[in-house]
């Protein structure tokens, strides 16, 4: 079987190199002997519900709005998540998949409604390294990323935080949390790309995509070196 990785709307939500998350997923699968391919879904395509895992990247406000409309019009992502297919949402994608978000000019936009979060602009843009302690089963290592967002995201009752912030801002609403988890959706403000810096998170998503409890270890000294460097930065 070929594992099919959906890279959702890289034409509008890919400004921060977050497409690298799909590359990391594909490479970690191939290094373990799985066939894997990336399926790019652009604004010209309907969104299929049949892929094995989906990733969405960050974007600026206007691009984010185009993506929101497209995902509302073609609800393949919502259908896939409802079946339990893993979805990784980075930064603006958290906002898009939520109930609503306000742009930096204060305009409220209805989100896709897949996760119970709302986002409003904060006084100060959060920019810089962010480090967190994971708060979900299956993750033990500190998470590291680079954040760059003005939006602050409040979690509703159906959503939980991905991690607790140890450095940086994270969701930015004073609850000390970073990211969001709800059903098969994992969201984080971490760019990096996040999965290049956090192989444990990559493998958690892959385990879910493959329906296995664990994967054989994949020791990559350069990834460990990158982590050490970033966690010290
Ligand atoms: N426009 C959104 C914000 O500033 C998302 C930014 C991003 O994806 N980096 O909150």
Cα–Cα nearest to 138, from 89, 81, 199: 199
End-to-end CA distance of the chain: 40
Helix axes 199-210, 20-30, angle to 10 degrees: 70
SS3 of the chain: helix, strand, coil, percent, to 5: 30, 30, 40
The structure's pTM equals: 0.98
For the chain, domain boundaries:
2-232
Six token digits for residue 27: 């490479």
Residue 125 has a pLDDT of: 96
Write down the residue that tokens 């990247």 correspond to. Answer: 57
Distance between alpha carbon 175 and the CA centroid of its chain, in Å?
20
Query: 145, 169 in Cβ contact below 8 A?
Result: no
Query: 180 in ligand 1 pocket by Cβ < 6 Å?
Result: no
Give, in words, the CATH class of 2-232: alpha beta
Which of 119, 151, 154 gets mutated to test ligand 1 (max ligand atoms within 8 A of its CB)?
Answer: 151
Residue 16 has a pLDDT of: 83
Tell me how far the alpha carbon of residue 164 lies from the centroid of ligand 1, in angstroms.
20
d(CA 9, CA 44): 9
pLDDT in tens, the chain (233 residues): 999 999 999 999 987 899 999 999 999 999 999 999 999 999 999 999 999 999 999 999 999 999 999 999 999 999 999 999 999 999 999 999 999 999 988 899 999 999 999 999 999 999 999 999 999 999 999 999 999 999 999 999 999 999 999 999 999 999 999 999 999 999 999 999 999 999 999 999 999 999 999 999 999 999 999 999 999 98
Tell me how far the alpha carbon of residue 92 lies from the centroid of ligand 1, in angstroms.
5
d(CA 227, CA 189): 17
* Phi then psi dihedrals of residue 94, to 5 deg: -60, -45
Query: 96, 71 in Cβ contact below 8 A?
Result: yes
For the sheet with 53-56, list strands across it.
35-41, 2-8, 53-56, 87-90, 185-188, 180-182
């Amino acid at each position: 079987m070929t594992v099919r990785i959906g890279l959702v709307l890289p034409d509008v939500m890919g400004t921060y190199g977050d497409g690298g998350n799909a590359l990391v997923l594909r490479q970690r699968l191939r290094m373990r002997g799985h066939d894997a391919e990336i399926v790019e879904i652009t604004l010209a395509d309907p969104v299929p519900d049949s892929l094995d895992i989906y990733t969405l990247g960050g974007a600026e406000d206007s691009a984010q709005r185009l993506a929101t409309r497209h995902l509302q019009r073609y609800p393949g992502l919502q259908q896939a998540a409802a079946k339990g297919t893993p979805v990784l949402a980075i930064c603006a994608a958290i906002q898009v998949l939520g109930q609503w978000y306000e742009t930096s000019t204060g305009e409220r936009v209805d989100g896709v409604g897949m996760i119970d979060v709302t986002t409003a602009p904060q006084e100060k843009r959060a920019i810089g390294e962010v480090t967190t302690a994971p708060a979900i089963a299956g993750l033990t290592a500190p998470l590291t990323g680079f954040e760059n967002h003005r939006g602050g995201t409040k979690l509703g009752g159906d959503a939980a935080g991905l991690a607790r912030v140890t450095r940086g801002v994270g969701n930015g609403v004073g609850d000390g949390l970073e990211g969001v988890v709800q059903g098969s959706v994992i969201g984080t403000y971490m760019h990096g790309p996040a999965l290049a810096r956090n192989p444990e998170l990559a493998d958690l998503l892959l385990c879910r995509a493959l329906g296995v409890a664990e994967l054989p270890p994949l020791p990559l000294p350069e990834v460990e070196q990158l982590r050490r460097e970033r966690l010290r930065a």
